[in-house]
Amino acid sequence: MPATSQRQIRLFGDFPFRCVGVMADEKVRIEHAGCGSERPKWGSDYSKASSSDEVLERLREARASGKRIVFVSLGTVATGRLWTLPLGHTAAGTANNDAGRPEGARGLSEYTGKELCQHVYRSCFEALGGDPNIFALLATGLCDDALEGLLHPVPSNFLVQATVPQLEVLKLCDAFVTHGGANSMHEALSFGVPLAVVPIFGDQPFNADSVARCGAGVSFRNPLRTLDSSSLRSAVQSLLQLETGNPYRSAALEVSKQLADAGGATAAAKAVLDVVRVHQAETTHLATAKAAGA
């Protein structure tokens, strides 16, 4: 979508905008982006770790046995550089997140990344743990203390990993519990995977609204008030309905088609080149006119 806020309009209002869908490529990686230190990896420069192969095999085995696969990941920022810091102004996008809270209770902006993520992890363990029909994969990021202090053992139907190859994992999933970052949202929808979105900051609340509006998932906007084991269990059960007649899966598949039709990387390259050609033509015309005038 084009610029909408006053600041965006001021900075980018004259820019052309075009939706080109998803430009995801399994051969291109930016690992641990929340740390801000990893360079992109391309082609043969990227080699899959054996642990990733083992994770994918576990997922395939679970699917083969008839289990439904739920992937849980909250991205790389809350689990990275904001892990021990208050979310602060970054959580301002979750409008009204303090509305209705008990007097004296902390708002989302006062939570650290760890506290918010563990609220989600705990809810997932309680909502999905022990369900014989579900196999859940939880990616926690590189923090060593991701589960520290939860006072809840990891359920036997959960596999916990620091990092996973998200694109390959999403291909095997039936539902995705996510923070709703743009990359995660678009990658999941490109594979027709319905979402339970627990937004934390930035664009994520608006992404959650978009997912809910198009029917491809459930939004837990204002997660301190809306997310608990009961609400999450209900949401995931709805996302995991048998595919025939599942409105969330159907909507996600429709969005997947729309994203594919938008053209991806090829359409993006063409859009950029079209603008360059127009600019070059205008520059040449002005130069010619100036020379003729001289």
Nearest to 22 by CA among 195, 178, 276, 192: 192
pLDDT at position 279 over 50:
yes
- Across the chain, mean pLDDT equals 88
- Which top CATH class is 49-265? alpha beta
User: pLDDT tens across 217-226, in order?
Assistant: 999 999 999 9
CA 75 → CA 78, 262, 289, distances in Å? Answer: 7, 25, 53
What is the per-residue pLDDT for 207? Answer: 94
pLDDT at position 191 over 60:
yes
Tokens read off for 245: 């007649």
Break the chain into its structural domains and give their ranges: 49-265
User: pLDDT tens across 102-111, in order?
Assistant: 555 788 999 9
User: pLDDT tens across 234-271, in order?
Assistant: 999 999 997 678 999 999 999 999 999 999 989 999 99
Q: How far apart, in whole angstroms, are the C-alpha atoms of residue 168 and residue 49?
A: 13
Read off the pTM.
0.86
Per-residue pLDDT averaged across 138-157, rounded? 92
Q: How far apart, in whole angstroms, are the C-alpha atoms of residue 283 and residue 289?
A: 10
